[in-house]
Structure 1
Amino acid sequence: MLVLENIISDRGSKYAVSGGPCASEDDAKAFVKELLRRKKFAKATHHSWGLLTADGPVKNDDGESGAGMVILRMLEREGLTDHVIVVTRWYGGKHLGGDRFRHVQDAVRIYLAEL
């Protein structure tokens, strides 16, 4: 499990990105559950994730509508299968509008650069 914290900050919202090998939707849910064992991550507002498997794409926006699809598209472009990427957001009190999609993309790019 690779976890990169405090990678993006905008108008009070803070982002982290994490990921690791993952073979199924159940594995992805277990990955997020393990992440939530960290006190800081348990307090986050959203844990959006995407995963490409042999069975097809799986995603979860966790209230951040559209974020899972952004992650999936980037995984497809990268050709990265059986690997979950989770973008975590701590809401800072101000709506970010379309900038939130840019932040999700940037978070995934930062993660992919670390692999």
Structure 2
Amino acid sequence: MQLTNVVTDRGSKYAVSGGKVTSRKEADAFLKELKRSKKFAKATHNTWAVLMDDGTPLKSDDGESGAGLVILRMLEREELKDHIVVVTRWYGGTKLGGDRFRRVQDCVRAYLEALT
């Protein structure tokens, strides 16, 4: 599932994508497929996380320090396992400081709501 243009903040645009994965290999394949789209391949950041069924956390900040952990914590709270969530950001030229974490949370919330 993919939700584009979820949030815009001071020029930065965000999207969220996700799907079922059951291994690191499947998570890597999901990211590879996502980045086949030139739009996502050229994004500034594709941060992601997945909580494996056995409780193993996987995450990547992709240069957006701390964002993978924000996604992971939200997945843990929802007890959503074997499901990758990717928040994509296209940097708009203005640093957002701590607000960037709020935008990541907004994207993950929108994704979780779309699942139900």
- What interval of TM-score do these two structures reach, taking the shorter chain for normalisation? over 0.9
1:97 is matched by which residue type in structure 2? G
Any idea what SS the aligned residue of 2:72 has? Answer: helix
Give distance in 2, aligned partners of 1:92 and 1:39: 18
Helix, strand or coil: the match of 2:85? strand
What's 1:45 paired with? 44
Residue 97 of structure 1: aligned partner:
97
Which runs of 5 or more residues in structure 1 are unaligned? none
SS of the equivalent of 1:4 reads strand
- Deviation for aligned residue 1:42: 1.3
Give percent identity, aligned residues only: 67
Q: Whole-Å Cα distance in 1 between the matches of residues 51 and 113 of structure 2?
A: 18
| Deviating 4+ runs (over 6 angstroms) | none
Deviations 1:18-44 (A, max 9, x none): 000011222111111100111211110
- Cα separation, 1, equivalents of 2:114 and 2:27: 20
List alignment gaps of at least 5 residues for structure 2: none
How far apart are 1:55 and its partner, in Å?
5.3
1:68 paired residue number = 68
With the length of structure 1 as denominator, give the TM-score of the two structures: 0.96
Instruction: List per-residue Cα deviations over 1:44-94 (Å, max 9, x = no partner).
Output: 010000000115101000000100000000000000000000000001111
> Hey, what does 1:5 align to over in structure 2?
4
The one-letter amino acid paired with 2:19 is: G
Q: How many residues align?
A: 114
Give 1:14's aligned amino acid. Answer: K
TM-score (norm 2): 0.95
Aligned equivalents of 1:81, 1:88: Cα separation in 2: 20
Structure 1 Cα separation of the partners of residues 43 and 17 of structure 2: 13
SS at match of 2:36: coil
- Partners of 1:46 and 1:91 lie apart in 2 by 8
